[in-house]
């Protein structure tokens, strides 16, 4: 077995365990906002190359804007991101996932920290409607691969109803989470 194959196998086993932990956490009696926070905490703890994990929720009043939701890791100044702005805004406007190996090569990157080197963003849909996205940052160039994309795409489906409910509660309250 090659070193690369061994690394892939180890990652797959770790992410299987992380999926189990997330599934268990989502069965808790916590409200949707707390469940999203739990997943951020588990992602940050469970993915060694992840230094920030968070949700951006699509503006519930329909403006082309993302609002920072639950997150784990260092605080970010990017609490509101316009569609099309940065990698998160690009994902929101194209409704596509992005894995960015080197954020310094992206002309539209919004720097959350000078230490961030790579990023992955996966949109979340509920009943066919874009409700938000998952965003992970790494201090390592090439920090995310297909295994992380697969994990986050799985999670985006699993948390879609929670993200929808958080967005709906924001609409009702007229405020961010």
Q: What are 7's two structure tokens?
A: 């690394």
pLDDT single digits (tens) 54-80: 999 999 998 999 999 999 999 999 999
Average pLDDT over residues 94-104: 95
Three-state SS for 67? strand
The structural domains of the chain, ordered by start, are 3-173 (3.30.450.40)
pLDDT single digits (tens) 112-142: 778 999 999 999 999 999 999 999 999 999 9
Beta strand extents in 76-117 (DSSP E only): 80-82, 98-100
User: Would you place residue 47 in the very low, low, confident or very high pLDDT band (cuts 50, 70, 90)?
Assistant: very high
Angle of helix 146-158 relative to helix 160-173, nearest 10 degrees? 60
Question: Positive or negative CA dihedral for 95, 96, 99, 100?
Answer: negative
Helix, strand, coil % over all residues of the chain, rounded to 5: 45, 25, 35
Are the CB atoms for 55 and 45 separated by under 8 Å?
Answer: no
Average pLDDT for the chain: 91
pLDDT single digits (tens) 163-177: 999 999 988 876 555
């Amino acid at each position: 077995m090659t070193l690369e194959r061994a690394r892939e196998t180890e990652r797959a086993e770790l992410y299987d365990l992380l999926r189990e932990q997330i599934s268990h956490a989502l069965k808790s009696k916590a409200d949707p906002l707390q469940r999203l926070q739990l997943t951020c905490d588990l992602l940050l703890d469970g993915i060694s190359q992840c230094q920030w994990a968070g949700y951006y929720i699509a503006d519930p009043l329909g403006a082309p804007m993302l609002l920072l939701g639950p997150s784990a890791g260092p605080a970010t100044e990017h609490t509101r991101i316009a569609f099309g702005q940065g990698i998160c805004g690009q994902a929101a406007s194209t409704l596509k996932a992005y894995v960015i190996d080197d954020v310094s090569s992206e002309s539209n990157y919004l720097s959350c920290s000078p230490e961030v080197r790579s990023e992955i963003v996966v949109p979340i849909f509920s009943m066919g409607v874009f409700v938000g996205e998952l965003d992970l940052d790494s201090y390592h160039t090439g920090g995310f691969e297909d295994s992380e994309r697969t994990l986050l795409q799985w999670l985006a489906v699993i948390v879609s109803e929670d993200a929808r409910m958080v967005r709906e509660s924001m609409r009702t309250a007229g405020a961010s989470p």
